[in-house]
Structure 1
Amino acid sequence: MGIDLPLIWFLIIGFGVMMYVIMDGFDLGIGILFPFITDRDHRDTMVNTVAPVWDGNETWLVLGGAGLMAAFPKVYAILLSALYIPALGLLAGLIWRGVSFEFRFKADDAHKPFWDRAFIGGSYAAAFFQGVMLGAFIDGHSIVDGVATNGLMSWLTPFNVFCGIGVVVAYALLGATWLVLKTEGRLQASIIRACSPITLATVAAMLIVSIWTPLTHPAIFDRWFSLPNFWFFLPVPVLVLVATWAILRSLRGTPHAGPFVWSLVLVFLGYSGLVISIWPYVLPPSLTIWEAAAPPQSLGFALVGALLIIPFILGYSAWSYYVFRGKVKDGEGYH
């Protein structure tokens, strides 16, 4: 039996997207929480917790996008043509956030509020449009002659918009628990108070999407609730409840890493539910990973590069987090 290159690339891209969601999720969460923290010093501290690592975190988005283009070019072309507007919204949000991230440190007092608002807007836009694209991906695309026949605004549906809101809330949870890990004093205390309602809102959003999805997608309904699949998938919602309880419990006393670790588990469980729902389709409900894959020669050549570069990304990411470990105090920073 030969090596299943499409499956390997599906796992690589899935891993890259998961790492992006986890690592850039709390970056975006900082901006999402910005409107609720008005103290300027506290805002500076919030940004300084991610200043050394935020741009490196986005490497995973590049890996996922480049991997999709190399391994599944048909999917790359169809998705981008069908989701031009939300994709542009996502990129605009990331660019605007990145520019404002740097400029707010250099702006004078008169202009700093403008860059704060830009940072907030870019963070919300990037997170929201990621969720919209996720919802549109789950909804699927009608394909004729290799082209999506969905209209230009077909992505603008209640389900997709709600997915966008859900991702914003989930990233807020990651950002909040990251701040619990990295800050102290009054800022940490205010974030701890906010973590419980954000956690419950995240779980509520996951529950609504989990109900909405099978009700509007018969194929997913059959996959989830047919036997014996139901018994195989049942641990996922059970583990979601366990992770939720663990987050709320870890917020008691003097929390440190616990809330962040368990929020990562919660987000990972949501991500795993998505993979379970769409497998083996890389573009539901039309193309499986084997139907959409590039020629074996292309997959093999690209795999060599991926196996060389992924350890480097993991290595410098781990080193960055190790070097900049510990609490960030007011007045301390890397700019």
Structure 2
Amino acid sequence: MEWYLPVIWSLIIAVAVIMYVVMDGFDLGIGILFPFAKEERERDQMMNTVAPFWDGNETWLVLGGGGLWVAFPRAYGVIMPALYLPIIIMLLALVFRGVAFEFRWVAAGSRRWWNVAFAGGSTVAAFAQGVVLGGLVQGIDVQNGAFAGGSFDWATPFSFMCGIGVVIGYALLGSTWLIMKTDGSVAARARRTATLLLPVVIVFMGIVSLWTPIAIDRIAQRWFTVPNIFYLAPVPIITAAIAYYVWRGLKGTAEVSPFLGCIALFVLGFIGLGISTFPYLVPPHLTVWQTAAAAPSQILMLFGVIFLLPVVLGYIVFVYWIFRGKVREGEGYH
């Protein structure tokens, strides 16, 4: 097998996952912040900021999951049974969130309940994604190439902590999105909320950064041995610098830089997790080469991705450009 094919597919899946986390993260964050809006008109304004984007943002989840299934079927066959329950909960919550998004506009008499469904679906989906992340990072019990653990191995304090951290992180991303896309009371409240959430998110990132090397020797070896510690030191240093940059923007009058800075924080956090786990796709047992599909299958699917990925990226740029600017009270695309 060509050694580089699994590496290329790992990068493709990594890009799909981080694109999903960033792009669906801010609209899930809108749902998480929904209960804190004072009036229905504010909720309308919040929801209208993501109306043109939210369903397209989820296509990256399809690419990530489909890419794993096609390019790394052995990993897919281990990860799915190990994390089946939180993954199903996540998917059902996303479906519920989508239904609530559409029904809220037409069911005026029951809008209050659809508000609850939208906020609940967004929060549960975010929490489940964090649990899946925590369950994967802490490791999966594999014997003879198959999942050998129990149905609730993922249910640990670490995975629940990751779930809470993702909910708070998405809320931060959503609040900085509102700063950029709205004005008036919604933007003012979003700025106050983001200012409160940023330190909490940094604390959670710090906890994960310390918990994983303390609990898992291979991660400690990756980060804290010489010369790795010198090569990898820029990651936490840059993260701290960007966090300060976001804080300055939130305390001032910046509108775009807090959102872009939060995206950078998510990307750096994802890079840190990648450094901790690569080349394992199913930590700590199966690498990307051990779980990869046959080379002809990977090459065939790679041709499809090469042609389709630029089209998807171009469409995203086009949509975000068309619907640029602020969404003011009473305006909307729905």
- How does the TM-score come out when normalised to structure 2? 0.98
| Residues 1:70 and 2:70 are matched in the alignment | yes
Task: Tell me which residue corresponds to 2:113.
Answer: 114
Q: CA deviation at 1:185?
A: 1.0
Partner of 1:249: 248
1:277 alignment counterpart: 276
Are 1:295 and 2:294 an aligned pair? yes
8 Å contact kept, 2:48–2:332: yes
**2:265 equivalent in structure 1:** 266
Distance (whole Å) between structure 2 residues aligned to residue 277 and residue 88 of structure 1: 26
Aligned to 2:317: 318
Structure 1 residue 190: deviation in Å? 1.1
Please report how far the alpha carbon of residue 323 of structure 1 lies from its aligned counterpart in structure 2 after TM superposition.
Answer: 0.3
Counterpart code for 1:164:
G
CA deviation string 1:118-170 (max 9, x = no partner):
00110011100000000010011121233211111111100000000001111
Q: Match for residue 327 of structure 2?
A: 328
State the alpha-carbon separation in 2 of the partners of residues 28 and 207 from structure 1. Answer: 23
**Cα separation, partners in 2 of 1:304 and 1:151, compared to 1, 3 Å:** same
| Unmatched segments (≥5 aa) in structure 1 | none
Structure 2 counterpart of 1:206, which letter? Answer: M
AA aligned opposite 2:291: A
* Alpha-carbon contact 2:2-2:295 (below 8 Å) kept: no
TM-score norm. by structure 1 comes to 0.98
In the TM superposition, residue 3 of structure 1 has moved relative to its aligned partner by: 6.8
- Which position in structure 2 is the counterpart of 1:94? 94
Contact 2:3 2:289 in 1 (8 A): no
Report deviation, 1:314. Answer: 0.2
- Spell out the pairing of 1:1-335 with structure 2 (5 A cutoff): 4-108=4-108, 110-335=109-334
One-letter code of the match for 1:60?
W
The CA distance in 2 between the partners of 1:3 and 1:287, in whole Å, is 15
Distance 1:247 1:253 in 2: 10
Secondary structure (helix, strand or coil) at the match of 1:282 reads strand
The one-letter amino acid paired with 1:145 is: N
User: What SS is found at the alignment partner of 2:14?
Assistant: helix
Which string of whole-angstrom CA distances, capped at 9 and with x for unpartnered residues, describes residues 41-86 of structure 1?
A: 0111101000001111111110011100010001111111111110
Per the TM alignment, residue 206 of structure 1 is displaced from its structure 2 partner at its CA by: 0.4
Amino acid at match of 1:141: I
Give the root-mean-square deviation of aligned CA atoms.
Answer: 1.1
Q: Identity of paired residues, percent? A: 49
**Alpha-carbon deviations, 1:173-207, whole Å to 9, x = none?**
11010000000011111111111111111001101
Moved over 4 A (4+): none
Kindly state the Cα deviation for residue 2 of structure 1 after the two structures are TM-superposed: 5.7
TM-superposed CA distance for 1:87, in Å, is 0.6
